[in-house]
Structure 1
Amino acid sequence: MSSAEAKRASFARRAESLVERKYIVNTDKSGELTVTVQGDLTQQEKRAVFITVHDLGCNHNSFQEFVNSPCMTEIKERSCFIHIDVPGHADNAEALPDSFNFPSLQMLGEDLVTVLDFLHVKYVMGLGEGAGANVLARFGLAHPTRVLGLILINATGSAASVLQSFKTKFIQWNNDDIAQSAESFLMYHKFGHQLVGDNPDKEKIVTEYQKRLRSSLNSKNVGLYVKAFMNRKDLTLKGCKVDVILITGMLSPYASMVEKLHRDIEKEKVTMLKIERAGDVLADAPAKVAQSILLFCKGQGLLTSVVMPGVDRGRAFSTSSGSFDGTNGTRRLSRGISMEDYDKPNIRRLSIINNEIKK
């Protein structure tokens, strides 16, 4: 590919990554889900497709801001992101009616396949945080043939403790505002004991989070998601058919729970990353999270043309021969293959999963 062609391809990818569409998807058990698609899904055969589910006290904006950060630029240009808002969590949403039965985390996980079918998406990488990570883990267990891998940030496998549940029963969730005790709980849940530790942008991050919590999110609906999280059933990933990376910060209040979840999974299926001096890893260490996502995706045959930071692109591909490495299935770039073709997912592993399930 000539220099001019490469520039045109780069410009086209950048333009595609800026495409954004919103949908309302009706599901069987979870009601209406607001879905924000970032990127051009008509190009999904040449892109990595992610589905994201947010944590408590936030919505799809938390992942969209991470995706739009500088450290994610090359990944974003070669990917599409399907951002899910759980019921009642779209910006400025009205309070859900009293008659609405907020879904359990299990129901939410099972219903995500409806979103993929609605958008005509074959398979995805799951990217979730906190309660959203729990939802995506349940999705991966329920629909392994639609999932290439799971990236789970601060995922919890155990049910809420009696003390944890007791405390939340006394948190006041009002339609008009969030009581101080409830806000304190969500701040602790999000940032951990030291509230983003040494991050120089600590005050800005906390202030922005509080502002969003108090303005754009409906507090009653936020409370319903919290209660669903507190009423969660035990999650076991034993026998999980898809590869998983667990990410947590050492300052996260859920670090020990992530470690326990890691101990319960077959080690050939799971990788774990613990980030020092971090509570909210997306805010404290976005570059490390982005690098981990890239490495994990490369292991699944995705984003193969994205070069790791610090590696010269020319050197990385200069010795390529356009074949597959017989030991690990890694694709190498040929001069006759365009970057777009090189980015096409290598889904050999998914066909293996399909065969295992049919047995």
Structure 2
Amino acid sequence: MNLLFDTPLSQSFCEIRLAPVSVLPVRGECHITWEERYLKGHHHSALQLFEMDDIQVVESKPLLVDKELPGLREAVQHLVVKEHDVETPYGRVRCTMKGVPKGERPVILTFHDIGLNHKTCWDTLYNHEDMAEITQHFAVCHVDAPGQHEGANTFSTGYEYPSMDQVAETLPLVLKHFGLKSVVGMGVGAGAYILTRFALDYPNMVEGLMLININPSAEGWMDWAAHKISGWTHATPDAIIGHLFGKEEIHNNHDLIGTYRHHIMHDMNQFNLHLFVKSYESRRDLEIERPMPGIKVITLKCHSLLVVGDSSPAVEAVVECNTKLDPTKTTLLKMSDCGGMPQIDQPAKLTEAFKYFIQGMGYMPAASMTRLVRSRTASGSSVTSFEGNRSRSHTHEGNRSRSHTNEGNRGHSHLANSNVDQAVPKSTEVSC
């Protein structure tokens, strides 16, 4: 198994191959800069980090490291990156695990949109300084759709790319591969759709979802006609750019658009990308409905945070999705002055919103926060604000199940207030 140290101060990677003894040989040239942050004056205390062929970790005095450099082991674990190709019936799925899973705590599992891979979709967010508080508590598993990772080989002629439902079916195998029981999903666009399908089919494996630009509906005839005219079916860069970004961004932010257009044209495998786009445009309706008393419907059972920028091309789809979910478990976050990729455009605000969401699930009760702006609305977005979620979070994670039960009871008490509320619960829309 190969381990990669993902250095926050450098884009370099240090490949370490596990040896049967306590000496970890490092092959090839490697620039290690993370000691400047974590060792701070102790450059010679535990690790001799110079330009050399080998790095020796002396296990005979483990307590010395902990005494002189408290937190070093945890910091090193946080930096560990493992890349795995998980075998599935639909081909290999590239997964990148950052950090070490912590006991019974879920892992954050991400899934990217079309035209992207996990790096171009999530690096800006996960490299943001505010995100470090979250990644100290949770390992992160980035999943790349088949054939979309960096350096992917071209699929052979005749290869049948999996449908969106089939891609979702690969995720239980990913969890099994890493020995995970549950995840908190974080998806954008096509990735949000895939994670939603996964949560519908395997509710016990998903504790929560943050869905950016989610569209649960099948592509309509008008959408198909527009995409046919614009060249969508050929996965042209402009068509994908129009899916990822709003018109205002495309017209005004030339540097950002140019960067992603170059990535789509030169970094992505064009043949594989075309297959992924075709699979997404052939998606079927998720057929979710808002739960009503006495009526059995298909809906998400986990807590969900729907996110969309106010100038995103996905605004209408996200708002429509929100009307189909349980208002006692769903929060809609509209981000002002934000386009189609909140994780790129507003990483600090998105990180804070995700912290509130995590707290509402009973995790990270002591996380640092500032206040998000709330506005009352009758749109049915959610009866639960981030502050409400936070107030119900427990300091002991063992009480999480009771937190979920109490929240369900709270939702029923709201529904019982009036006949009008039974039909359309009043709710809180969070904006920032």
TM range (shorter): 0.7 to 0.9
Match for residue 216 of structure 1 among 245, 251, 267:
267
Name the structure with the higher helix share.
1
- Structure 1 counterpart of 2:31: none
Whole-angstrom distance in 1 between the partners of 2:227 and 2:67 = 54
Deviations 1:169-214 (A, max 9, x none): 463878xxx7xxx11111111111111787xxx4443232122212
Q: Is the 8 A contact 1:148 1:350 kept in 2?
A: no
Q: Is the 8 A contact 1:48 1:302 kept in 2?
A: no
Whole-angstrom distance in 1 between the partners of 2:248 and 2:325 = 29
Q: Is the 8 A contact 1:44 1:80 kept in 2?
A: no
Q: Is the 8 A contact 1:301 1:347 kept in 2?
A: yes
- Structure 1 counterpart of 2:112: 54
1:305 CA drift (Å): 3.4
Q: Unmatched 5+ residue regions in structure 2?
A: 1-65, 290-298, 372-389, 406-432
Alignment RMSD (CA, Å): 2.8
- Structure 1 counterpart of 2:91: 31
Overall identity of the aligned pairs, in %: 28
1:101 aligns with 2:153: no
- Aligned counterparts, 1:179-190, within 5 A: 182-190=236-244
3-state SS of 2:208 partner: strand
Letter in 2 for 1:192: G
Q: Unmatched 5+ residue regions in structure 1?
A: 311-326, 333-341, 353-359
Provide closer, same or farther for how the CA distance between residues 233 and 173 of structure 1 changes in structure 2, counting only shifts above 3 A.
closer
1:330 CA drift (Å): 3.0
- Structure 1 counterpart of 2:394: 331
- Structure 2 counterpart of 1:274: 334
Alignment: residue pair count:
311
Letter in 2 for 1:56: I
1:266 CA drift (Å): 1.8
Whole-angstrom distance in 1 between the partners of 2:398 and 2:80 = 21
Q: Is the 8 A contact 1:196 1:284 kept in 2?
A: no
Whole-angstrom distance in 1 between the partners of 2:123 and 2:183 = 17
3-state SS of 1:221 partner: helix
Letter in 2 for 1:225: F
Letter in 2 for 1:155: I
1:234 aligns with 2:285: yes
Provide closer, same or farther for how the CA distance between residues 196 and 269 of structure 1 changes in structure 2, counting only shifts above 3 A.
farther
Whole-angstrom distance in 2 between the partners of 1:269 and 1:34 = 31
Q: Is the 8 A contact 2:148 2:273 kept in 1?
A: yes
150-159 or 229-238: which moved more?
229-238
Whole-angstrom distance in 1 between the partners of 2:244 and 2:114 = 8
252-261 or 5-14: which moved more?
5-14
- Larger gyration radius, structure 1 or structure 2: 2
- Structure 2 counterpart of 1:121: 180
Q: Is the 8 A contact 1:302 1:345 kept in 2?
A: no
Normalised by the size of structure 2, how large is the TM-score?
0.66
Deviations 1:43-77 (A, max 9, x none): 344x5511111001000102233212222121122
> Which of 1 and 2 has higher RCO (CA within 8 Å, sep 6+)?
1
Whole-angstrom distance in 2 between the partners of 1:10 and 1:26 = 35
Whole-angstrom distance in 2 between the partners of 1:350 and 1:103 = 38
